[in-house]
Structure 1
Amino acid sequence: MLKNLFAAIPVDTSREAFDDLLNVPGLRIERIVSHGQKSPPGFWYEQDEDEWVIVLQGSATLQLEGRDTLVSLEPGDHYWIPAGLRHRVDATAPGRPTIWLAVHR
Structure 2
Amino acid sequence: MPNLFAELPATAAVDEQFREILQRPGLRIERIVSTGQSSPPDFWYDQPQGEWVLVVQGEAKLRFADEAEARHLRAGDYVDIPPHCRHRVEWTPAGQITIWLAVHYD
TM-score tier, shorter chain, comes to over 0.9
**CA deviation profile, 1:6-57 (whole Å, cap 9, x unmatched):** 0111236111000000011111000000000000001100000000000011
Instruction: Report the AA paired with residue 10 of structure 1.
Output: P
CA distance in 2, matches of 1:99, 1:74: 10
TM-aligned CA deviation for residue 94 of structure 1: 1.6
CA distance in 1, matches of 2:86, 2:95: 27
The answer for the alignment partner of 1:95 in structure 2 is 95
The answer for the alignment partner of 2:74 in structure 1 is 74
What RMSD in Å do the two structures reach over aligned CA positions?
1.2
Instruction: Report the AA paired with residue 32 of structure 2.
Output: I
CA distance in 2, matches of 1:93, 1:30: 20
**CA deviation profile, 1:38-96 (whole Å, cap 9, x unmatched):** 00001100000000000011101011002102111100000011000000000012211
Normalised to the residue count of structure 2, the TM-score between the two structures is 0.94
Instruction: Report the AA paired with residue 18 of structure 1.
Output: F
Instruction: Report the AA paired with residue 8 of structure 1.
Output: E
Identity of counterpart residues, as a percentage?
51
Normalised to the residue count of structure 1, the TM-score between the two structures is 0.94
CA distance in 1, matches of 2:77, 2:64: 16
CA distance in 1, matches of 2:72, 2:51: 16
Runs of 4+ in 1 over 3 A off after TM superposition: none
Q: List alignment gaps of at least 5 residues for structure 2.
A: none
The answer for the alignment partner of 1:26 in structure 2 is 26
Aligned residues: 104
CA distance in 2, matches of 1:21, 1:50: 17
Q: List alignment gaps of at least 5 residues for structure 1.
A: none
The answer for the alignment partner of 2:56 in structure 1 is 56
3-state DSSP of counterpart to 2:69: coil
